[in-house]
Amino acid sequence: MESEGQGIRPPSPVLVDVTAGDVAACYEFALRCSRLRQYTGAGGWKGGLVPPMNLFGGIEVDGTNAGIVIGKVGEIAMCRLAGVHVDLALKDGGDGGKDLSLPCGRVQVKTGRKPFSSRLIREPIERVDWFVFATWSGLSGSVSIDGYIAYAAVLLFPLNPSKRGTWMNREVPTSRLRPIRPLLSIRPIDEVL
């Protein structure tokens, strides 16, 4: 019998609805973020890995902001699934890699536009407890929450050079992800005792 998230096959994704208002809020966040951080041109960076596109709700976004919007929409979907507050506050130094806090710990949400057989985490890896992977094409009213993996497990995967730059990535096969619902049921030990 095959078991999802045990290295044999990926877990079944959980679909979470998002609204055009969610996308608009994420677009506004992306505009503020890119103005504050001045991404374009920094360190030789010429734009995002996501091309300019027309997003769900009719928002036209350029390549600098498209990836930020897609990532933030993935965070909103995860917050909605977990029943926690969405944080659209912009911090000068960023969020330190922690997108949201759950009872189980600190979470980094990684959102891609396509469902690949492996997911990349750029080095140096953010110091969080869990990585959650999501998929959102940018065109639909739902985000796929694909699964999660522990920080310690990510460190076991080898480093691979990026195909698009000079940085290194950890490549996580989607078959190694765990189903998302059990993560949401983990409670700190002081709550359990």
Q: How far apart are CA 25 and CA 23, in angstroms?
A: 5
Q: How far apart are CA 4 and CA 47, in angstroms?
A: 36
Looking at residue 88, its pLDDT comes to 85
Looking at residue 74, its pLDDT comes to 97
Per the CB < 8 A criterion, the answer to whether 186 and 104 are in contact is yes
Looking at residue 99, its pLDDT comes to 82
- The total number of residues shown for the chain amounts to 193
Q: Are strands 105-112 and 130-135 parallel, antiparallel or unpaired?
A: parallel
Of 162, 155, 70, nearest to 109 (Cα)? 70
Looking at residue 37, its pLDDT comes to 67
Does the pTM surpass 0.75? The reply is yes
Q: Report, as ranges of residue numbers, the positions in the chain whose pLDDT lies below 50.
A: 1-2, 41-46, 193
Query: Can you say how many angstroms the Cα of residue 157 is from the centroid of all Cα atoms in its chain?
Result: 18
Looking at residue 166, its pLDDT comes to 82
